[in-house]
Amino acid sequence: MPLIGCVPNVSEGRHEEIIQLISSEIASVRGVKLLDVTSDSELNRSVFTFVGTQTPLRRAVYRMMRVAFEKIDISKHKGKHPRIGIIDVIPFIPLRATTMERCIRLSKTVGKDLAENFGVPVYLYEQSATAPERVSINDIRSGEYEGFFEKIQRPEWKPDFGPARIHPTAGAVAVGARPPIITFNITLKNVTVKGARSIIEEIRAAGARPRQVKAILLDKGRRNKMTIAVNVFDYKNTPMYAVLEAAEKGARREGAQVVGVKLIGLITADVLIKSLNYYMKVEEFDSSQVLEFHLPPRRNRAQ
């Protein structure tokens, strides 16, 4: 059965009742399995990870957008993560027995659905992008919601679907298809904004190829503690530990410290195994040596 992943980022991380309501709507769709919800109150953002086939995924995205449309007002949103709308970004990811082309088609169908049903401007990004300047979510997100009132008037930023005007309470949304990525935040201590930006360049240079590691500074207000958001696109050739080593190297140079790493959403087992092999020098280790991987899944007692 073709299986596709979906990882929408919603601009709400502080009101648990809204997060729970969105989670319930996703989980209620037959053919969709909600795997993870990661929320951050400082970023005021939640990341939902779920999997399914095309039609159920389309239905789940519609339902979560309906709740977000009713419950979230992007004009009142305050948080440390850049955003353009109540649902900032919706990526579709080929997983089992499916193709990137199928995910691209689904992203276009969903984008058209959202524009027609909610009146929001929709931009296709990553492998669904219709122009080079729309491939990167950072380029689309530049200026954020507040800057989009003017930005959307430029011909080069006419949306792929929907009206050429920002929705006053829902903003805009980016929808696309991409491979699986590893997303995490690195917290630094005793660092200046200038030092953090220098560390970001060190992190970006860790990629096996240019632009395969993206990093942005999330918070610039605190003098002694700052957070860098990292996306590793080519994680098979750029191990997570290589990115963390680059961050440590940059931090030492700047007289700072890496004090924490927070995973955003889910991570693949091979990423952790590579890090285990690197840091613990475990020889010829693989997932078959993990006890829990051999145990049958837990059954829900309510069933």
Domain CATH number, residue 31: 3.30.990.10
Residue 47: burial class (beta carbons within 10 Å; 0-12, 13-18, 19+): buried
Do 195 and 129 share a structural domain?
no
Whether the predicted model's global pTM rises above the 0.85 cut = yes
Listed range (1-5, 141-145, 243-247) with the worst mean pLDDT:
1-5
Q: Tell the burial category of 293 from Cβ atoms under 10 Å away from its Cβ (0-12, 13-18, 19+).
A: exposed
pLDDT in tens, 12-34: 999 999 999 999 999 999 999 99
**CA torsion sign, 257 to 276 to 232 to 61?**
negative
Binned at pLDDT 50, 70 and 90, residue 210 comes out as: confident
Asked whether residue 291 is domain-assigned, the answer is: no
List, for residues 218-228, the tens digit of each pLDDT value: 876 556 789 99
Are both 171 and 186 inside the same structural domain?
A: no
Between the CA atoms of 170, 50, 39 and 212, what dihedral angle is there, to the nearest 10 degrees? -90
Residues 228, 193, single domain; the answer is yes
Examine the domain organization and report whether 55 and 34 are in the same domain.
yes
What the block records as the tokens of 55 is 């039609």
| Domain-located, residue 154 | yes
- Nearest-angstrom CA–CA distance, 292 and 35: 17
Q: Within a domain: residue 141?
A: yes
What pLDDT does 258 receive? 96
294 is catalytic: no
Q: What is the CATH number of the domain that holds 253?
A: 3.30.70.670
Q: What percent of the chain has pLDDT over 90?
A: 80
- If we measure between CA atoms, which residue out of 142, 151, 164, 22 comes closest to residue 83? 142
Residue 85 and residue 223 in one domain: no
- Smallest CA-to-CA distance from 114 within 72, 156, 56, 172 is with 172
pLDDT of residue 219: 75
Q: Looking at residues 229-240, what average pLDDT do you find?
A: 92
Q: Which residues constitute the domain of residue 188?
A: 182-266
Give the confidence band of 243 by pLDDT, cuts at 50, 70, 90. Answer: very high
Give every CB contact of residue 166 below 8 A, 6+ residues apart in sequence: 121, 145, 148, 149, 152, 172
Taking only the tens place, the pLDDT of each residue in 166-187 is 999 999 999 999 999 999 999 9
Marked catalytic residue, from 77, 81, 167, 294 = 81
Q: What is the pLDDT of residue 225?
A: 86
Same domain, yes or no: 111 and 238:
no
Residue 303 pLDDT > 60:
no
Domain count, the chain: 2
Q: Which phi and psi angles does 59 have, rounded to 5°?
A: -70, -40
Is residue 17 a part of any domain in this protein? yes
pLDDT for res 268: 87
Please calculate the CA angle 258-262-265 and round it to the nearest 5 degrees.
Answer: 155
